[in-house]
Amino acid sequence: MSFLVYLFGEIVFQLAVLRSTALDLPCAIYIRHGLCSLLFSTFVD
């Protein structure tokens, strides 16, 4: 179930990237990786 949620989020993110401009792209990637690292650090701790 969680995998489907992750897959759905990944697809939505990819669509958002395709629609974003080249200027917004680095910011979107930075935010996404920031959230991912935050989640992983929370689970690890």
Yes or no: say if 28 and 20 are a contact pair by the CB < 8 Å rule: yes
**pLDDT for the residue numbered 22:** 54
**pLDDT for the residue numbered 31:** 75
pTM above 0.85? no
**pLDDT for the residue numbered 9:** 87
Query: What pLDDT digit, counting tens, does each position of 1-45 carry?
Result: 788 888 898 888 887 777 655 556 676 777 777 776 777 777 665
Domain that holds residue 21: 2-44
Percent of the chain whose predicted confidence (pLDDT) is above 70? 62
Local structure of residue 20 (DSSP, 8 states): S
Quote the number of domains for the chain: 1
Packing angle, helices 2-19 and 24-44, rounded to 10:
160
